Chains A and B, each alone.
Chain A
Amino acid sequence: MQSDKRPLSPHLQVYKPQLTSMLSILHRLTGVALAAGTLLLVWWLVAAAAGPEAFGTVQAFVGSWLGRLLLLGWTFALLYHLCNGVRHLVWDVGWGFELTQVYASGWIVVGASVGLTILVWILGYAARGGGI
């Protein structure tokens, strides 16, 4: 038997979708999305160091509908990955492994990340002084 042809973990398609596995996959997806999002962070900082014109280009992009859509996605990705990351850290010290606790913490993470995303955007628009 050729060892390199064996099925390798993780082979996700054999499992029934559940909250636990969906949140686990979402943790990875948001992590990869945030890695891509670092490009905006770097662009923003390098532009700020380069001068007002370059900075204005970044501000214009962030203010465009595509920029806002990406920023909304990244806000959720960041807050979800943060909340679920804390859930992982709590598991790492050995707490919350009972099935009921795993589901409870999962729903808390869903609620917290969605709620915080909405809160951050409301505060963000308020801080801009009500302008769009």
Chain B
Amino acid sequence: MTLKTPLARARGLGSAKTGAEHWWAERWTALALVPLVIWFVISVIAHMGDDYSAAVAWIGSPVTAVLLVLLIAAVFHHGQLGLQVVAEDYVHDERWKLAVIFAVKGGAIMLSVAAILAVLRIALGGPA
């Protein structure tokens, strides 16, 4: 039993070096998403009446495909960072917290890979 406060015990041990990475990643993905989301909303409005072939032609066009892949990557990176913080704040049981965070990160990886692969398939050859 020590009477030192946790702060006194931590003092002088040096920083953990990587503590701000999560915060920064949330910020730069947010910054990237500002123009990407504005582009996406305007584009979806412009293609509201599209039938299947027009929609696929739009998704597969070079500029759209590149921006969609960037959007998907930024959305899922940003989203899993945010959901991680929500889990850390509200799931107080250590095991459940870890399980939820793993599920969030695993889900984000699977969904983003599926979405990116779909865009690439349309852009690089189109559906059979």
Contact = CB atoms under 8 A, between A and B. Distances in A.
Nearest to B79: A35
B41 interface: yes
A49 B79 CA distance: 24
Interface string B42-74: 001111110010011001000000001000100
Interface residues of B, number: 38
A46 B120 CA distance: 10
Contacts of B56: 48, 55
A51 interface: yes
A127 B45 contact: yes
A24 interface: no
Nearest to A122: B45
Interface string A93-132: 0000000000000000000000000001001110111000
A49 B111 contact: no
B59 A48 contact: yes
Nearest to B46: A127
A17 interface: no
B83 interface: yes
Interface in A22-68: 28, 31-32, 34-35, 38-39, 41-42, 45-46, 48-52, 55-56
Interface of A: 4, 8-10, 28, 31-32, 34-35, 38-39, 41-42, 45-46, 48-52, 55-56, 78-79, 82, 85-86, 88-89, 92, 120, 123-125, 127-129
Interface of B: 27, 30-31, 33-34, 37-38, 41, 44-49, 52, 55-56, 59, 68, 72, 75-76, 79, 82-83, 86, 89, 92, 111, 114-115, 117-119, 121-122, 127-128
